[in-house]
Amino acid sequence: MLRTFSRPIPLVLALAFFSFIPVLNALVETIQIPTGTYAKDSAHLAVAPVAWFLHVLAGAAFGLSGPLNFVLALRRRFGRLHRVTGWIFFGSAAALGLSALSLLLSVEPQRTPVVDIARGVFGVALLVATGKAIAAIRRRDIAGHRAWVIRAYAIGMGLGTVALVFFPVYLVTGQPPTGLASDLLFAASWAINIGFAEWVIRRLNPTIRRVPA
């Protein structure tokens, strides 16, 4: 497994698989929002169209640029390109986190407080992880930088895991989960992402025993 995460093609394919649903959803919404053709269950977000559009646009850029930043060959052979994709990643991460918090403050809650709390916590966590990643690379801490980028990507792509968790429930019951159970699954999906990210970080660097300061 360690070798898998050290090789460019398997790593990119794995990340692309988990980010496919949220990226595709974001790309579709970048067209739907300006044209007003979005789904009815998303209509409540139209009260903050700028924040909503920025959120999906940043989400698409974040999901597309993220896997490229983990490609070992890109980092070693095309350092300038890696820096460009890195700044796209960081810029979109900041926009994603800030727009998420803006939507949280602007949009009337549609579900239980569990979802809003989770969105607020993980929105702030994404901004913190992004800032930590930038600070680490500025002091030439490559291992720390990589660890925080992995954490940021895991948080930002939480929606992908939500879809993977909800889909089997839909197949078994014939309908998507609703109510408190649904919202707990929603929050748990993000926790799964973060737990998996920490496992990957420790596999890549066994000397890491805790979240670095």
> Which segment of 60-69, 84-93, 134-143 scores lowest on mean pLDDT?
60-69
Question: Given this model, what pLDDT does residue 209 score?
Answer: 45
**Concatenated DSSP letters of 191-211:** HHHHHHHHHHHHHH-TT--S-
CB 193 within 8 A of CB 200: no
**Pair of tokens at residue 145:** 């930088």
Higher pLDDT, 74 or 43: 43
Question: Given this model, what pLDDT does residue 1 score?
Answer: 41
Higher pLDDT, 48 or 3: 48
Reported confidence tier of residue 211, pLDDT bands at 50, 70, 90 = very low
- The whole-angstrom separation of Cα 57 and Cα 12 is 21
- The whole-angstrom separation of Cα 159 and Cα 30 is 17
CB 97 within 8 A of CB 123: yes
Work out whether the CA dihedral 106, 109, 113, 118 comes out positive or negative.
negative
Nearest Cα neighbor of 147 from 49, 1, 5 is 5
Counting residues of the chain whose pLDDT is more than 70, the rounded percentage is: 84
Cα R_g (the chain), whole angstroms? 17
Mean of pLDDT values over 110-138: 91
- The whole-angstrom separation of Cα 95 and Cα 89 is 10
- The whole-angstrom separation of Cα 22 and Cα 90 is 18
CB 157 within 8 A of CB 66: yes
Residue type, 137: I
Is 7 a residue whose pLDDT tops 50? Answer: no
Mean pLDDT of the chain: 81
CB 106 within 8 A of CB 119: no
33-52 burial code (b ≥16 CB/10 A, e <16):
beeeebeeeeeebeebeebb
* pTM recorded for the entire structure: 0.81
Mean of pLDDT values over 117-131: 93
Reported confidence tier of residue 72, pLDDT bands at 50, 70, 90 = low
